[in-house]
Structure 1
Amino acid sequence: MTVEDLPLIDEHALTIARPRQQVWTALEAFVHRSLLSAADGAMARLLGTDPPGGFAVDDVVTGERLDLAGRHRFSVYRLVFRLADASLADAPLAEVPAADAPATRLSARSYAVFPGVRGAVYETMVIRTRFHVLATRRMLRQVRRISLSDPAG
């Protein structure tokens, strides 16, 4: 099974009151700093992640989609970030700089397979406990935070 064939786990999204290019720049910064960097921690050694940081860029459509993929002892997975123009009606009021400001919908879709008994145990620990939901939503909020801190916005 290739990463393109993995079953969908879930999708999470939020709207950011910033132009798409600004959100794209923030997404790239977040991904390179947090998801692609080589990890030398106990968790990476325990899981046996490949690549060591947990993710590698699998495909990019600049300004629209960033696909990451990886694997470890218990799972093969893919994380796909998508950006789309959005309505400010969906953005938190505290973020809206002006009535005519652009907004971007940022989503994260997760795909994975958990082979074998160990994979099933790992799936229970990570997916069914909602740890994955919390981690994914945290990633989206971090991209939002980076986007909003950019003075160009």
Structure 2
Amino acid sequence: MEITSLPFVDEHATDIVAGTDDVWCHLGEALDGAFSRRGMAGYARLVGAVDHTASGPRPLAEGSTLPGFRVVAAAPGRELVLQGTHRFSTYALIFRLEHVGPGRSRLRAESRAAFPGPAGGFYRRLVIGTGGHVVGMRRLLSAIRRRSE
């Protein structure tokens, strides 16, 4: 499924006192850290994620994987696109970096996802409806900001 055809879920942003190249490095490190935590690979297997282990080049590049995600596009300092699928959802996370001033960047994280069928609808309520997704995205962006600054 094309990423642009996936329904929009939400977008979160944070301003960071660091250049886009520095933020880019810390973005990859934070994603690796977040998705390498204990239990993430097991969860990815449990829901039937196509990609359930971390593999491929580091820093993250096209073809790299994290539990639940595959990097489908990587433009260093500008954009990182992750896509995944499992039995309840097809989804994407799109990270965009913008230069907003000397030594300042804005990092935006856009989420898109489709949740087909009754099981997908239930999974959407668990992940999106409970606010868990929002909490996770805010924590991830905060971690990237802290690492970068």
TM-score (norm 2): 0.82
Partner of 2:111: 110
- Rounded to whole Å, the distance in 1 between the matches of 2:110 and 2:36 is 17
- The correspondence for 2:77, drawn from 54, 57, 63, is 63
Aligned residue number for residue 78 of structure 1: 92
Q: Is the 8 A contact 1:36 1:56 kept in 2?
A: no
Q: Deviations over 1:70-124 (max 9, x none)?
A: 011100000000000125xxxxxxxxxxxxx521100100000000000000001
Query: What's the counterpart of residue 3 of structure 1?
Result: 3
CA distance in 1, matches of 2:80, 2:21: 13
Alignment match, 1:137: 138
Q: How does 1:82-97 map to 2 (within 5 A)?
A: 82-86=96-100
User: Whole-Å Cα distance in 1 between the matches of residues 2 and 99 of structure 2?
Assistant: 30
Tell me the secondary structure at the aligned position of residue 41 of structure 2: coil
2:15 aligns with 15
Aligned residues: 134
Give the structure 2 partner of residue 120 of structure 1. Answer: 121
Structure 1 segment 37-52 matched on structure 2, within 5 A: 39-41=40-42, 43-52=43-52
Cα RMSD over matched residues? 1.9
Contact map agreement 2:34 2:140 (CA 8 A) in 1: no
Q: Which runs of 5+ in 1 are unaligned?
A: 88-100, 149-153
Does structure 1 conserve the Cα–Cα contact (< 8 Å) formed by 2:88 and 2:120?
yes
Matches of 1:24 and 1:107 in 2, distance apart?
12
The Cα of 1:48 is off from its aligned counterpart by: 1.0
Computing the radius of gyration over CA atoms, which structure comes out larger, 1 or 2? 1
What is the percent sequence identity of the aligned residues? 40
User: How big is each residue's C-alpha offset from its partner over 1:47-88, in whole Å with a ceiling of 9 and x where there is no partner?
Assistant: 11111011110101111000000011100000000000125x
Normalising by the residue count of structure 1, what TM-score does the alignment of the two structures yield?
Answer: 0.80
